[in-house]
Amino acid sequence: MKQCIVTLDMEGVLTPEIWIAVAEKTGIPELRRTTRDEPDYDKLMRGRLAILAQHGLGLSHIQKVIGELRPLQGSKEFLDELRSMVPVVILSDTFEQFASPLLRQLGWPLLLCHRLVVENDRIINYALRVREQKQKAVAAFRQMNYYVIAAGDSYNDTKMLLEANSGILFRAPDNVKHEFPQFPTVETYPELLALIKKAIQEAQ
Amino acid sequence: MKQCIVTLDMEGVLTPEIWIAVAEKTGIPELRRTTRDEPDYDKLMRGRLAILAQHGLGLSHIQKVIGELRPLQGSKEFLDELRSMVPVVILSDTFEQFASPLLRQLGWPLLLCHRLVVENDRIINYALRVREQKQKAVAAFRQMNYYVIAAGDSYNDTKMLLEANSGILFRAPDNVKHEFPQFPTVETYPELLALIKKAIQEAQ
Residue-range domain boundaries for chain A: 3-14+73-114+127-203, 18-67
Spell out the CATH class of A18-67.
Answer: alpha beta
Evaluate if residue A184 carries a pLDDT over 90: yes
A67 touches chain B (CB under 8 A): no
* Domain A3-14+73-114+127-203 superfamily per CATH: HAD superfamily/HAD-like (3.40.50.1000)
Q: Which segments of chain B have a pLDDT < 50?
A: none
pLDDT band at A92 (very low <50, low <70, confident <90, very high): very high
Cross-chain CB nearest to A104 (options B84, B109, B115): B84
Q: Rounded to the nearest 10 degrees, what angle do helices A189-202 and A75-83 cross at?
A: 20
Evaluate if residue A172 carries a pLDDT over 90: yes
B191 is catalytic: no
How far apart are the C-alpha atoms of B19 and A157, rounded to whole Å? 41
How far apart are the C-alpha atoms of B102 and B16, rounded to whole Å? 10
pLDDT at B145: 97
- State how beta strands A110-119 and A122-127 pair: antiparallel
pLDDT band at A36 (very low <50, low <70, confident <90, very high): confident
Q: Where are the beta strands (DSSP E) in chain A?
A: 4-8, 88-95, 110-119, 122-127, 147-152, 166-170, 185-186
Mutate to test the interface with A, among B5, B91, B110 (most CBs of A within 10 A): B110
Q: Rounded to the nearest 10 degrees, what angle do helices B59-67 and B18-26 cross at?
A: 100
**What does the mean pLDDT of chain A come to?**
95
Evaluate if residue A6 carries a pLDDT over 90: yes
pLDDT at A158: 96
pLDDT at B204: 75
**B11 SS3 class:** strand
Q: Where are the beta strands (DSSP E) in B30-108?
A: 88-95
Evaluate if residue A27 carries a pLDDT over 90: yes
Maximum C-alpha span of chain A: 55
pLDDT at A141: 98
pLDDT at A35: 77
B157 is catalytic: no
Contact between chains at A137 and B130 (C-beta distance less than 8 A): no
pLDDT at A204: 75
Residue of B59, A107, B102, A186 lying closest to A197 (CA atoms): A186
Determine how many CB atoms are found less than 10 A away from the CB of residue B151.
28
Residue A106 parent element (H or E): none
Q: What is the rounded average pLDDT of the residues A110-115?
A: 97
Contact between chains at B80 and A108 (C-beta distance less than 8 A): yes
Residue of A190, A137, A155, A191 lying closest to A39 (CA atoms): A155
Output the CA–CA distances (angstroms, integers) from residue A16 to A70, A192, B163, in the order listed: 8, 18, 37
Determine contact, residues B153/B172, Cβ cutoff 8 Å: yes
Total-model pTM: 0.96
- Helix, strand and coil content of chain A, in percent to the nearest 5, comes to 45, 20, 30
